[in-house]
A and B are shown apart, each in its own frame.
Chain A
Amino acid sequence: MALEPVAQSYPTRWKRPPVLLTHPLWRKIILLGGLVYLVLAIQTVEVDWQRVYLGLERGWRFVQGFLVPDFTSRWNDIYAGLMESLTMTVTSTVAGILISVPIGIGAARNLAPAPVYLACRGIITVSRSFQEVIIAILLVAMFGFGPFAGFLTLAFATIGFLSKLLAEEIEDCDRSQIEAIRATGASWWQVVNYAVQPQVMPRLVGLSLYRLDINFRESAVIGIVGAGGIGATLNTAIDRYEYDSAGAVLIIIIAIVLVVEYSSSYIRRWVQ
């Protein structure tokens, strides 16, 4: 192909064409409408400034308590709550992983037949449709106050989370590796063991550690509705206006989350 001998003038300016709202007039109308809505919406917000002032004072006391945390006077309660939370977290994560692996495999379209797929997706949907706090309220009502209800709540929530993400990871697997193992005459179990497991293992480990982290944080929340653990301790401290003890609990939670975060990124690098 010969190049054009004559120098042709090409445009020097280019703008990315809009993806949505290609019509310029509609674009202006909708932007303007959004702006009007924003102004009107802000006007409907009623702020009780006196209440804010009162709250500020209490908030300030909280900040003070946080700055001067008191680990000692309620240490026995804090320690007991912490141990309960950690036990709840570890047991529920382990139980959750053990149950979610088969469900996750069953919910992967490229490995499971349609009825199994639908059943497993159903379990995942049920588990994911309720927030932990709501499940905790229900289970506390069923099994009474205490960490057992918390354990069940977290294990149940873990199933929805891990199975779904594991199933998606399995569906995203390199198909040619699965095909190659299948072509050797391998059975279904062998395909899972040789072609799928090596591909999803690092992600499964990463997700499990992430879920451990989430479960610890959630254990503090569900403690407030009666499912035991550090959340119950925190709740009691706040109810008694012992903000210095509450501050101590919060600092411990932050420290533990930090430790889990750093160790999980280390472990994930190690299993890559």
Chain B
Amino acid sequence: MLKLDKVSKTYKTGDKALHNACFEVPAGQVVGLIGPSGAGKSTLIRCINRLVEPTQGSITLGDTELTGLNRRELRRARRRIGMIFQEYALVERLTVMENVLSGRLGYVPAWRSYLRKFSPDDIAQAFSLLDRVGLADHYNKRADALSGGQRQRVGIARALEQNPELLLVDEPTASLDPKTSRQIMRLIRTACQERNLPAIINIHDVMLAQQFSDRIIGLKAGDIVFDGAPDALTDEVLTTIYGDEDWTQLRGDNGEQSTDPEAPAVDLAEGV
């Protein structure tokens, strides 16, 4: 379980990116974090694994208070938190396998990782995850030889290879086409359900967020302005978060594509 208590972040430039964020995420819950660009979504999820240092407040994962940790303890805490990135953030010149195995770096001494001598369990898990995301045959390809959707699948496998207790997902679909976006979101969603894994997904696409999350948190200029079920996301709420727009029409445009969110996972290898 993740708990944020009055977390604030003010950048050195004086920009208040986040202001008194308070919420809890129980195990297995998928939270969609929405809001306009610059609302603090990225800052919020990066504060949790302290890629960005929060200026105030406390963040607790399980029994660990994350904000007070020293460097060594922070590394130990980070390996419990998987992260999936916008634009994939794979190491492009490494192979797919190395990218997935890099999820184990926090558990492996530097000399072993340097020699790529990972334990048989780690390697077996990496193969099974690659199979799970539909990339079983691609393990020796270089990451930059893959398509966008395939790269994000590797990104997901890397995060899951950590056996995380929490998944932080930063704009997973920002550079993907609508169909691949859906596949990726479905993959993340089912992975969370299988492992009872909580996730915070920072996402621009409101319709995708509604379809694939259990709960929506809306951010505006660093403040949480909405926290509730996806169904409660009415036009008025969207207007508070994003400003005036013809939301009903937007929904209509997207409505025909949307499928049942609870539908069983489709063939995950499709579109590979």
Contact A190 to B113, CB < 8 A, known contacts A181-B105, A185-B79: yes
- List chain A residues, Cβ under 8 A from B105: 181, 184-187, 190, 194
Q: Give the contact stretch, choosing among B9-17, B89-97, B132-140, B262-270.
A: B89-97
A193 to B106, CA, bound (A): 13
Interface range, B side: 20 to 34
Q: Chain B contacts of A189 at CB under 8 A? A: 110, 114
Asked whether A177 is an interface residue with its Cβ less than 8 Å from the other chain, the reply is yes
Whether B103 and A184, one on each chain, are in contact in the complex, defined by CB atoms closer than 8 angstroms, is: yes
Contacts of B103 in A (CB 8 A): 184
User: B114 near A193 (CB under 8 angstroms)?
Assistant: yes
B143 to chain A, nearest CB (A): 9
A residues contacting the other copy or chain, number (CB 8 A): 21
Q: Are B102 and A181 in contact (CB under 8 A)?
A: yes
Tell me, rounded to whole Å, the shortest Cβ–Cβ distance linking A90 to chain B.
27
> Does B66 lie at the interface of the complex (its beta carbon under 8 Å from any beta carbon of A)?
no
Does A199 touch B at the CB level, under 8 Å?
A: yes
Residues 75-97 of B, flagged 1 when their CB comes within 8 A of A and 0 if not, give 11111110101110111111000
Q: How far is the CB of A180 from chain B (nearest CB, A)?
A: 4
26 contacts between A and B (CB under 8 A): A174-B89, A176-B86, A177-B91, A179-B85, A180-B83, A180-B85, A183-B78, A183-B83, A184-B103, A184-B104, A184-B106, A185-B78, A185-B80, A185-B107, A186-B102, A186-B113, A187-B105, A189-B110, A193-B110, A193-B113, A193-B114, A194-B102, A194-B105, A198-B92, A198-B94, A201-B93
Residues in A lying within 8 Å of B, measured CB to CB: 174, 176-177, 179-187, 189-190, 193-195, 198-199, 201-202
Contacts from B to A (Cβ < 8 Å): 49, 51, 75-81, 83, 85-87, 89-94, 98, 102-107, 110, 113-114, 155, 158, 162, 168
